[in-house]
Amino acid sequence: GENVEQHPSTLSVQEGDSAVIKCTYSDSASNYFPWYKQELGKGPQLIIDIRSNVGEKKDQRIAVTLNKTAKHFSLHITETQPEDSAVYFCAASSAGGYQKVTFGTGTKLQVIP
């Protein structure tokens, strides 16, 4: 089955700096890669996603890149703000996301004011 590895497990940045979280996946059949933000006491919230036919996608301060050959994908947050502090999960799915989604182990991001 699919295995998703995520690094780093914790990340501290100064407000205004950029944050990068990296993930690798094992199943070449995976074609949908969502990223979730989970705040304390809440369920994961989808913040951005990318499909395997796209190499990069951007939404305001958030961008994701995908390297299918290397089975790597990354989340980039620019101009970080204190409210970006949360746990971020990368994930992978085949069947375009309609079925099982396999999550990484999470990155706890702390943005220091």
Partner 1 sequence: DAGVTQSPTHLIKTRGQQVTLRCSPKSGHDTVSWYQQALGQGPQFIFQYYEEEERQRGNFPDRFSGHQFPNYSSELNVNALLLGDSALYLCASLSRRSGVYEQYFGPGTRLTVT
Interacting residue with partner 1 among 10, 67, 81, 105 (CB under 8 A): 105
Task: Tell me: does residue 76 bind partner 1 (CB under 8 A).
Answer: no
Q: What is the DSSP letter of 53?
A: T
Which is closer to partner 1, CB of 14 or CB of 99? 99
Task: Tell me: does residue 113 bind partner 1 (CB under 8 A).
Answer: no
Please provide the size of the chain in residues.
113
Q: Say which residue the tokens 């919230």 belong to.
A: 45
Which is closer to partner 1, CB of 28 or CB of 45? 45
- State how far the Cα of 18 lies from the Cα of 79, in Å rounded to an integer: 6
